[in-house]
Amino acid sequence: MCIAGSMVIVIHAPQEQEITSVKEIWIMATQPSFLLYVASVVLVVSVLVFHFSPLCGQSNVLVYTAICSLMGSLSVMSVKALGTSLKLTFEGKNQLVYPETWFFMLVVAICVLTQMNYLNKALDSFNTAIVSPIYYVMFTTLTILASIIMFKDWSGQSLGSITSEICGLIIVLSGTILLHVTKDYERIPQSRSIYAPLSPSSTPRLNGELLRRIEDDARSPEDEEKALRRQEMY
Name the DSSP class of 109.
H
Residue 9 CA to residue 12 CA, distance in Å, equals 5
Give 94-137 pLDDT, tens digit per residue: 899 999 999 999 999 999 999 999 999 999 999 888 888 889 88
- Does the pLDDT value for residue 5 go beyond 70? yes
- Integer CA distances (angstroms), 132 to 20, 128, 138, 222, in order: 37, 6, 10, 57
Asked if the structure places residue 172 within a domain, the reply is: no
The SS3 assignment for 40 reads: helix
- Residue 37 shares a structural domain with residue 139: yes
Which one of 131, 157, 183 terminates a domain? 157
- Does the pLDDT value for residue 197 go beyond 80? no
* Other CB atoms within 10 A of residue 12 CB: 18
- Residue 50 shares a structural domain with residue 143: yes
Q: What integer pLDDT is reported at residue 199 of this predicted model?
A: 47
Tally the domains of the chain. Answer: 2
Q: Look at the alpha carbons of 115, 185, 5, 33 in this order and tell me if their dihedral is positive or negative.
A: negative
Query: Which region holds residue 196: left if phi is over 0, alpha if psi is between -120 and 50, else beta?
Result: beta
Give 31-73 pLDDT, tens digit per residue: 999 999 999 999 999 999 999 999 998 899 999 999 999 999 9
Residue 25 CA to residue 20 CA, distance in Å, equals 9
Q: What integer pLDDT is reported at residue 214 of this predicted model?
A: 54
Asked if the structure places residue 199 within a domain, the reply is: no
Q: Pick from 7-11, 14-18, 23-27, 37-41 the range whose average pLDDT is largest.
A: 37-41
Find how far residue 64's CA is from the centre of its chain: 9
- Residue 54 shares a structural domain with residue 140: yes
Which one of 157, 180, 215 terminates a domain? 157
Lowest mean pLDDT among 51-60, 150-159, 194-203, 223-232: 194-203
Find the domain containing 210 and state its range.
205-233
Work out the percent of the chain whose per-residue pLDDT is above 70.
76
